Structure 1
């Protein structure tokens, strides 16, 4: 798989209001039932994202290993899943929603993350702060659905390909910011900050 091509094919949107909404869309060459199963079966989730535990049903709570947890708010197989998204002591309401739409033998995957973000964090990082993380997750799902191996999240950002993927995703979120009305200089600065966060150079890592 050409990972840069995967990043380029994805569509991104930003609603820059009191609550920030980032949307990432991607079309997969897989049936809706297969994509739904990959997004909801804990055995498959850990093969492209993270191990998940909890009461995985409507109204139950989940926890992703080393990451966010929350409550399953809506579940309409095989089309819609909505959860609350709590990361440590992060303030404010945060929700993630996935919608699947069949398109012949393919499936349109849309992920929407709505959150209340502290102004200082938003000013510095913009939508790429969560957007690039979701890009990497959606890339993992693409590899899984195509029968490939999960990338090593501990070392991917250290490889040339990984750094190119992260930079391309950060720049794509910068363009989404511009489309939402963010001044170009600010959007470019945010993209650079996000790239440095996800893929720090050797001097920064040292």
Structure 2
């Protein structure tokens, strides 16, 4: 299966914001992504909270998806479900590589569909922020939101990880990563980062996401 995605139009569907925050007395960076999907809130809620549908656009997930339960995404993050107010919002810890961050997803119906707002808060080492900026996680979330959009448009279609990876390394996929990373750099600049440093970090993020692994 070959994916056909307009990189500029698709990247432009996401509104990106960076905030500087604090949690338990420590400074944090808060990445906010918003995108409107042309479906109602119950359908979008089901797409982002049920294992059967999550696996069709993101990754297989196992565990107990109730408040207090532990979940695990295959080959990726796991954590604890901290809050669930169906069909409006849920919050989980995002535990990966020995670090813990916090993720909240909320859904709001509008006249044109449902707005998904994703808020990811993390304590980011300064050297990592200097190297990659918010795009380190932001571009990954952008790619996830693309997958969700394709799933909402055709819920019955199976998810093909190989096609998704091939697209991410194609000229269109590289351009999408470049546009998404630039959007995150602009958000960081609006939060106070130096423009030249933010844009250089975005370029390093693009290289990270679009370099094929060695065989």
CA distance in 2, matches of 1:156, 1:64: 22
1:81 aligns with 2:90: yes
CA distance in 1, matches of 2:7, 2:205: 19
CA distance in 2, matches of 1:205, 1:179: 36
TM-score, with normalisation over the residues of structure 1? 0.92
- Does the CA-based 8 Å contact 1:82-1:95 persist in structure 2? yes
Per the alignment, residue 38 of structure 1 pairs with 47
1:138-186 per-residue CA deviation (whole Å, 9 max, x = no partner) reads 1100110011754634323221111111111111111111111111101
1:188 aligns with 2:209: no
Shift of 1:205: 5.4
1:13 is aligned, of 14, 17, 21, to 17
Per the alignment, residue 53 of structure 1 pairs with 62
CA distance in 1, matches of 2:31, 2:63: 26
Shift of 1:105: 5.3
Considering only aligned residues, what root-mean-square deviation do their CA atoms show, in Å?
Answer: 1.7
Per the alignment, residue 97 of structure 1 pairs with 104
Per the alignment, residue 109 of structure 1 pairs with 116
TM-score, with normalisation over the residues of structure 2? 0.89
Shift of 1:6: 1.8
CA distance in 2, matches of 1:144, 1:122: 32
SS of 2:121's partner is strand
SS of 2:55's partner is helix
1:63-99 per-residue CA deviation (whole Å, 9 max, x = no partner) reads 0000000000000000001000000223xx4000000
SS of 1:141's partner is helix
Which runs of at least 4 in structure 1 moved beyond 6 Å after TM superposition? none
SS of 1:19's partner is strand
- Does the CA-based 8 Å contact 1:31-1:105 persist in structure 2? no
- Does the CA-based 8 Å contact 2:7-2:175 persist in structure 1? no
